């Protein structure tokens, strides 16, 4: 399993990598939306990611942009959004843009792992529904 992490805050990125690596999940990190999208494109045909974990509040292009573009490149990829300020409005906007699940920062390792699983389950359920 391979997850693309998009966040500008290095400490968050490191936390996520440690949690996911401990679960034997491969991770690739992008410090900005541009890099994230570039990586997504590069890997699409050879070695596609299984999930995108993206922050929302970032300088320049924000997480919502990342989600929208990602959906264009990989329509079926599960997307998990994380944010330090999770309001119903953010959630709704994220869902409209194509997010499958969301998690509020801060989180414990267990909470993140559970959220990843739920994201994948949601996506699968959604696909079977269709």
Partner 1 sequence: MFFAVDRLHSIRFKLIASLIIASLLVCVVSIFVGGNMLYRSVLDEARNRIRQDLNVARVLYDDRINTIRTALELTASMPEVFSGFCSPESPLPETAFMQLTTHQGLDFLGVTDAQGQVVYRQEGNRSGSPGSSKSYPLVEKVLKEKQTFAGTVVLSEDELLFVAPSLVDRVRVSHAVPKGGRLFTTQAAAMTIGVAVPIFLDGSFAGILYGGMLLNQETGLVDKIGETVFKNEIYKGQNVGTATIFLDNLRIATSVKDASGKRALGTRASPEVARRVLGEGGSWTGRARVLDNWYVTAYEPLLDISGKRVGMLYVGVLEAQYADVRARAIAKFASIILVGVLVAIILGWMITGRIMQPVTHLIRASAEISSGNLSPDIGPISKDDIGRLQRNFLTMTDALREKEERKRVEHETRLLQSEKQASIGKLAAGVAHEINNPLTAVLTFTHLILRRKDLPEEVREDLEMVADQTERVRNIVKSLLDFSRQSEIEVESIDINGLIRDCVELMKNQALIKDIELSFKGQEKLAPLRLDRNRIQSVMINLIINALDATAAGGSIKIVTARSVEGCKKGVSIAVEDTGHGISPEDMEHLFDPFFSTKEVGKGTGLGLAVTAGIVERHGGSIKVRSRKNEGTTFTLWIPYQDGPEDFQPRTGEYKL
Residues in contact with partner 1 by CB under 8 A are 9, 11-12, 14-16, 18-19, 22, 57, 84-85, 87-89, 104-110, 112
Closest CB 51 distance from partner 1, rounded Å? 18
Compute the distance between CA of residue 57 and CA of residue 117 in angstroms, rounded to an integer: 23
Residue 24 CA to its chain's centroid (Å): 17
Select from 20, 23, 72, 31 the least CA-distant residue to 54.
Answer: 31
Closest CB 98 distance from partner 1, rounded Å? 22
Closest CB 7 distance from partner 1, rounded Å? 9
Closest CB 87 distance from partner 1, rounded Å? 6
Compute the distance between CA of residue 36 and CA of residue 51 in angstroms, rounded to an integer: 12
Taking the least distance from each CB to partner 1, the nearer of 107 and 122 is 107
Taking the least distance from each CB to partner 1, the nearer of 18 and 125 is 18
Q: For 6, phi and psi rounded to 5 degrees?
A: -120, 110
C-alpha triplet 55, 59, 64: angle, nearest 5°: 45
Taking the least distance from each CB to partner 1, the nearer of 92 and 126 is 92
Taking the least distance from each CB to partner 1, the nearer of 31 and 48 is 31
């Amino acid at each position: 399993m391979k997850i693309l992490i998009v966040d500008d805050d290095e400490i968050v990125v490191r936390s996520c990598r440690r949690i996911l690596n401990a679960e034997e999940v491969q991770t690739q990190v992008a410090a900005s939306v541009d890099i994230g999208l570039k990586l997504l494109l590069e890997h699409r045909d050879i070695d596609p990611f299984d999930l995108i974990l993206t922050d929302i509040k970032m300088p320049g292009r924000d997480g919502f942009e990342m989600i929208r573009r990602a959906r264009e490149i990989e329509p079926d990829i599960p997307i998990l959004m994380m944010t330090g300020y999770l309001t119903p409005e953010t959630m709704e906007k994220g869902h409209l843009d194509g997010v499958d699940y969301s998690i509020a920062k801060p989180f414990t390792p267990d909470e993140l792992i559970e959220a990843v699983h739920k994201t994948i389950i949601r996506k699968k359920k959604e696909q079977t529904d269709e």
